[in-house]
Amino acid sequence: MRTVAIAGGGVAGIAAAAALAQTGCRVILLESRPYSGGRAASYALPGGDGEIIDNCQHILLKCCVNLLDLYRRLGVDSQVDFHREFHYLEPGGRRSVFRAGLLPAPAHFAGSFAALHFLSAAEKLQAAQALLALRREHGRRADLDSITMRQWLEEKRQSPRAIARFWAPVLVSAVNEDLDRMAATHGFQVFHLAFLSSKDAYQMGVPRLPLGEMHSAHRLAARTGAEVLLRRKVTGVRTEGSRVRAFETEQGDVEADAFISALPFEPLRRLLPDLLDDWSAFDYSPIAGIHLWFDRPVTELPHAVLLDSPFQWFFNKQQGRYLQLVVSASRFLETWPRQQAAARAVEDLSRYLPEVRRAKLERFHVVKEVRATFSARPGLSALRPHPETRFENLFLAGDWTQTGWPSTMEGAARSGYRAAEAVCRLFGDPRPLLLPDIA
Ligand SMILES: Cc1cc2nc3c(=O)[nH]c(=O)nc-3n(C[C@H](O)[C@H](O)[C@H](O)COP(=O)(O)OP(=O)(O)OC[C@H]3O[C@@H](n4cnc5c(N)ncnc54)[C@H](O)[C@@H]3O)c2cc1C
């Protein structure tokens, strides 16, 4: 039986491990932390009597077909609640709902789009024209990785208010980057796939289980037979000519026939600085999660976009008493003390949910993930590496590699499957593992 060693137990490493173990390989997954899941994990709240929280709310869409395939392999695909409605709140509390109607795609949002309160009739007309242009130019226009999404939107004469209220809430959270730093190619991918292709692709999946359980090492081992070694940091890569011989760890070398790095770019660069010609294009974009516990329910909505607010989006985690605000591309929060961030978030939230004014904040927890995702800036797409490397038996996975997707769990799952396919080819057993995008 051939052995594959995988470094990194995030979604990418888990996807590669699950797929390869199910093809009959012996798989050894090495993860430096005491738990798997990487950036999509859970931990015990400090001082919280063992209460487990996710590092930050993670959502998926129905078009995340490879992630859902991975969840099937892990037996947790039924643990995702899909929401058909996106709620938008204006300051003062007026609500608009975005949902698919009866018309076939791509006209399925026509009814709810026309009824949105937060855009003027002229802004809706302009946005509809831009959506038609996006459909026309998708796959045809050559410069989308050299311009920013904001440049494209301005070219299509979108007003600052339409950009801030219609385009930014979806794109900034999906790509985790500001519109003036985001390559237009990502904005196109998100809108084309999620909103213009099929009728249910946009539905938002919220895991019912903690991320730590969705992506648990124990589950991976039990369902697929992969061996998972936690607290096993890869400290070096032993090579011989064009082959990798072993991953080095403090507990000893791990030898294998093939190797996958499912590490983020920074630790991989430390291990193999010459692997890429130029690492300088890879940089981070931050996300902050602000967890707020109130003494009473402050909303009945499951989640909502907070229009015109820097705090962007809330998720109702526990009958309206525990809300989590997700702030994507959260650079402005980096210098704020956590207490100030929570206080400002509560103050801001009260503009949308009046009950917040009457409620008492019992506790808060602010998570600032400075290295949350890669920054999807123009020019990066061409530099993202494919699974193959100059070593014939070393392959790359990770959300930052060439997936066609922004930094997401779906991107990570895709990268894991692509690396697993490359290993199967090396072993003379080529087989498709990656599921194609739905459009
Ligand atoms: C706050 C936040 C919110 C997010 N929200 C969403 C969302 O809503 N939806 C979505 O789809 N995506 C979201 N993402 C992005 C998503 O979490 C990532 O794209 C995805 O989890 C990346 O998976 P990965 O396996 O490529 O990398 P990682 O999760 O970073 O996994 C890499 C693993 O390698 C391990 N490692 C590092 N060095 C070593 C070493 N030397 N030896 C062994 N192991 C090592 C790490 O501990 C880690 O477990 C969010 C990310 C963050 C941080």
pLDDT tens by residue, 6-25? 999 999 999 999 999 999 99
Residue 112 sits in the same domain as residue 188: yes
Domain that holds residue 132: 98-195
CA dist 148 to 130, 179, 184, Å? Answer: 15, 7, 5
Residue 48 burial (CB count, 10 A): 13
Q: What is the pLDDT of residue 94?
A: 98
Average pLDDT over residues 211-219: 97
| Final residue before a domain boundary, out of 340, 357, 374 | 374
Q: Choose which residue among 220, 409, 414, 417 to substitute to test ligand 1 binding: the one with the highest number of ligand atoms within 8 A of its C-beta.
A: 409
Overall average pLDDT of the 405-433 stretch: 98
Q: What is the per-residue pLDDT across 221-271, written as a single tens digit (0 to 9) for each? A: 999 999 999 999 999 999 999 999 999 999 999 999 999 999 999 999 999
Does residue 61 belong to any structural domain of this protein? no
**Closest ligand 1 atom number to CA of residue 36:** 49
Residue 13 Cα: closest atom of ligand 1: 25
Residue-level pLDDT at 235 = 98
- Which of 11, 31, 36, 39 most suits a substitution to test ligand 1, by most atoms within 8 Å of the C-beta? 39
What is the mean pLDDT of the segment spanning 325-340?
97
**Minimal CA–CA distance to 67: which of 361, 391, 417, 430?**
417
- 402 and 269 part of one domain: yes
Q: What is the 310 CA–ligand 1 centroid distance (Å)?
A: 24
Ligand 1 near 325 CB (within 6 A): no
Q: What per-residue confidence (pLDDT) applies to 48?
A: 73
Average pLDDT value for residue range 165-180: 98
Same domain, 107 and 190: yes
Residue with CA at minimum distance from ligand 1 atom 33: 8
Q: How confident is the model at residue 50 (pLDDT cuts 50, 70, 90)?
A: confident
State the chain's mean pLDDT as an integer. Answer: 97
Residues 143-164 have a mean pLDDT of 98
Torsional sign, CA 412, 414, 420, 426: negative
- Report pLDDT for 158: 98
Q: What is the CATH number of the domain that holds 306?
A: 3.90.660.10
Q: Which atom of ligand 1 is nearest to 271's Cα?
A: 41
Q: How far is CA 180 from CA 169, 224, 306, 329, 330, in A?
A: 14, 43, 20, 11, 14
Q: Calculate mean pLDDT across residues 29-37.
A: 97
Cis peptide, bond prior to residue 106, ω within 30 of zero? yes
pLDDT attached to residue 46:
81
Task: Report which of 121, 82, 122, 120 is spatially closest to residue 99, judged by C-alpha positions.
Answer: 82
Is 12 within a domain?
yes
Q: Are residues 258 and 399 in the same domain?
A: yes
The C-alpha atoms of residue 110 and residue 99 are separated, in whole angstroms, by 9
**CB count in 10 Å sphere of residue 279:** 14
Answer whether residue 92 is part of any domain: no
Q: Are both 251 and 220 inside the same structural domain?
A: yes
- When pLDDT is cut at 50, 70 and 90, the band that residue 173 belongs to is very high
pLDDT for 438: 87
pLDDT at 51: 87
Written as six digits, the tokens of 247 are 């991953």
pLDDT above 90 for 388? yes
- Is the whole-model pTM more than 0.95? yes
Verify that 274 and 292 share a domain, yes or no. no
Is 270 a member of any domain?
Answer: yes
pLDDT band per the 50, 70, 90 thresholds, residue 396 = very high
Can you tell me whether residue 303 is helix, strand or coil?
Answer: strand
* The pLDDT of residue 125: 97
Whole-number pLDDT of residue 231: 98
73 lies in some domain: no
With a cut of 90, say whether residue 394 has pLDDT above it: yes
What number of CA atoms fall less than 13 Å from residue 393's CA on the CB side? Answer: 23
Q: Reply yes or no on whether the pLDDT at 207 is more than 90.
A: yes
For the chain, the domain total comes to 3
Mean pLDDT of 72-79: 98
Same domain, 191 and 235: no
Give the number of the atom of ligand 1 that is nearest the alpha carbon of residue 410. 11
On whether both 24 and 171 belong to a single domain, the answer is no
Per-residue pLDDT reduced to its tens digit, 347-358: 999 999 999 999
